Amino acid sequence: MLDLKFVRQNPQAVADGMARRRFPLDLPAFLALEERRREIITDVERKKSQRNTASAEVAKIKRQGGDAAHVLAGLGALSEEIKALDEKTKEVDALVSEWLLGVPNIPHATTPDGAGEADNPTIRLIGTPRTFDFPIREHQDIGVSLGGLDFERAAKLSGARFVVLRKGLARLERALAAFMLDTHLAAHSYEEVATPYIVNAESLVGTGQLPKFAADLFKLEGMASYLIPTAEVPVTNLHRGETLPQSALPVAYACHTQCFRSEAGSYGKDTKGIIRLHQFGKVELVRLVHPDTSYAELEKLTGHAEAILQALDLPYRVIALCAGDLGFSSAKTYDLEVWLPGQDKYREISSCSNFEDFQARRADIRFKPEGGKKSAYVHTLNGSGLAIGRTMAAILENHLQRDGSVAIPKALVPYMGGIEALTPEGK
């Protein structure tokens, strides 16, 4: 969340940042709470001064051997009033915290202006989309012909927007996860972690999914626990409530998980194929870094995700999300969009974001600077490295052959046990 002190001192700067986001900020509500809080604190301080004066008077009367009963009675009443005002202060503080939890991050100065997806500028294009001399097809048709995508049985088991992977595609999913993790560990110096798929509400508050995006989550009935929407949640929260030594930074984790999203509000979108499922695999990259280096770290993180696309020979582009298209917690985001020839468009396959201290403040993740100075919040970053289902879809469409087979990218062949192509059933 935003720094409360900053909001109090710079309400207009906050309002300007939210205007860039096209976020309807209820700043008058915050200012009214702040005015109420100041009134209560002024009242408390006045009554505490009266109590101190009365206490001194009681002491003086007792030293003189007098009866201080009448002063003590008033002192007791003052103490009760102060106690009641302290409770009101807590109530107002709770309302301020609730208000803050609903306010998104302020866009970084280098985040481009814009209202939405159409205003996101392209930063670079990598690779040349292939020219086909035979009819191109979408990934779901290719996957079904390979006997590897079974939507009917998935629907029988779980409902819409699930898939059963079979044969070569089941192996391809496993190969992709292993390849991505091995690359990030060996080439990019990440530490692999394996985390639970169920987290508590505090973890989701820490990374910004709660309270605002509860409808996007799968909540366990009768429990204050949820299935993870992304490994960002458990991995970032590994250090919730901790103060790290500066020498430990940057902390870099890579984690493969299944992710679970209700996709609330996306009905009718991407209903075909494996682009938008309720459950999907992903390798997530999370970095906890020094504030002075976080934007250099964002470029580095983005490069790590790009390396996977390059190794798999998949054309892609990098776009910068404009302020109106930023995620709730992000100050700056690059999206990697892979080319899908069957759809004749680029589709998101990774979002790489710098949250600055927004998540760290919610999750209370700090570092202690060298020299014993006061602790400060780390900056958190994360990005997909990559979304496995979408990577699989891109491989199926980009590496489709005339005979209906799909060539396996060379980097994946060792992970596929030497298999160089997936062939349609019956061939």
pTM over 0.85: yes
Q: Which one of 351, 353, 384, 405 is the catalytic residue?
A: 351
Please give the residue that has the higher pLDDT: either 394 or 52.
Answer: 394
- Considering the domain architecture, whether residues 78 and 130 belong to the same structural domain is answered as no
What's the start-to-end Cα distance of the chain, in Å? 56
- Residue written as token pair 């390059």: 310
pLDDT at 52 over 90: no
- Residue written as token pair 């696309």: 309
Any domain includes 12: no
- Considering the domain architecture, whether residues 65 and 190 belong to the same structural domain is answered as no
Any domain includes 8: no
| 21 in active site | no
Rounded to a whole number of angstroms, the CA Rg of the chain reads: 28
* Token pair in block for residue 214: 């509860």
| 161 in active site | no
Segment 288-301 shows an average pLDDT of: 98
Any domain includes 73: yes
* Token pair in block for residue 85: 């005002």
Q: Which one of 51, 390, 397, 405 is the catalytic residue?
A: 390
Q: What is the model's pLDDT at position 268?
A: 63
* Residue ending a domain, choose from 72, 101, 130: 101
- Considering the domain architecture, whether residues 30 and 170 belong to the same structural domain is answered as no
Phi, psi torsion values for 226, nearest 5 degrees: -140, 150
pLDDT, tens digit, 9 for 90 and up, residues 319-331: 999 999 999 999 9
- Considering the domain architecture, whether residues 252 and 321 belong to the same structural domain is answered as yes
- Apex 313 CA angle, 309 and 319, nearest 5: 40
- Considering the domain architecture, whether residues 127 and 159 belong to the same structural domain is answered as yes
Tell me how many domains the chain contains. Answer: 2
- Considering the domain architecture, whether residues 238 and 376 belong to the same structural domain is answered as yes
CATH number of the domain enclosing 415: 3.30.930.10
- Other beta carbons less than 10 A from residue 295's beta carbon: 18
**8 A C-beta contact, residue 148 and residue 254:** no
- Considering the domain architecture, whether residues 165 and 35 belong to the same structural domain is answered as no
- Residue written as token pair 């998980």: 257
Residues of the domain holding 96: 26-101
| 348 in active site | yes
Composition of the chain by helix, strand, coil, percent to 5: 45, 20, 35
Q: Which one of 21, 261, 287, 362 is the catalytic residue?
A: 261
- Considering the domain architecture, whether residues 234 and 327 belong to the same structural domain is answered as yes
Any domain includes 427: no
| 390 in active site | yes
pLDDT cut 90: percent of the chain above it? 87
* Token pair in block for residue 135: 């009819």
Any domain includes 212: yes
CATH number of the domain enclosing 50: 1.10.287.40
Q: What is the model's pLDDT at position 264?
A: 67
| 294 in active site | no
Q: Chain-wide mean pLDDT for the chain?
A: 95
Q: Which one of 130, 137, 276, 317 is the catalytic residue?
A: 276
Structure confidence at residue 54 as a pLDDT band (50, 70, 90)? confident
Phi, psi torsion values for 25, nearest 5 degrees: -80, 125
- Considering the domain architecture, whether residues 35 and 74 belong to the same structural domain is answered as yes
**What is each CA distance from 176 to 122, 182, 390, 392, in whole angstroms?**
27, 10, 11, 8
Any domain includes 2: no
- Considering the domain architecture, whether residues 227 and 334 belong to the same structural domain is answered as yes
- Considering the domain architecture, whether residues 95 and 160 belong to the same structural domain is answered as no
- Considering the domain architecture, whether residues 309 and 370 belong to the same structural domain is answered as yes
Q: Helix/strand/coil (H, E, C) string of 262-273?
A: CCCCCCCCCCCC
Q: What is the model's pLDDT at position 269?
A: 67
